[in-house]
Amino acid sequence: MSMSTHVTGIRDLDGTFASMMGAKLACELAGVGYPQELHHYFGVGVEESEDHLRRKMEMVDISAAVHDYGREMVEGHEVDLSKLPEGVKAIRFENSW
């Protein structure tokens, strides 16, 4: 079994996310369809759970800033901080098997 590591940028979800989530929940409670603004903000999957939408929207593709790094007996990833997109507040390293 092998392991892989993924590097992802994490953005801070501002007050807009909370407002849009409130509107989404209000629509669901009222049993009405989502307005176009919610579809535009959340994109495909507006009907997904809050946790799913939060995870999806907080992730930022930072692949242009990540390079494989290695030397004898070492493998890893190096992140060029100067190439991170604006709004990235953290970098998440995830290992999966």
* CB-count burial class (<10 Å; 0-12, 13-18, 19+) for 87: exposed
- Residues comprising the chain, all counted: 97
Mean pLDDT over all residues of the chain? 92
Query: Reduced to 3 states, what is the DSSP secondary structure of residue 53?
Result: helix
Q: Is the pLDDT of residue 91 over 90?
A: yes
pLDDT band at residue 4 using 50, 70 and 90 as cut-offs: confident
Q: Is the pLDDT of residue 1 over 80?
A: no
pLDDT score recorded for residue 67: 95
pLDDT in tens, 36-62: 999 999 988 899 999 999 999 999 999
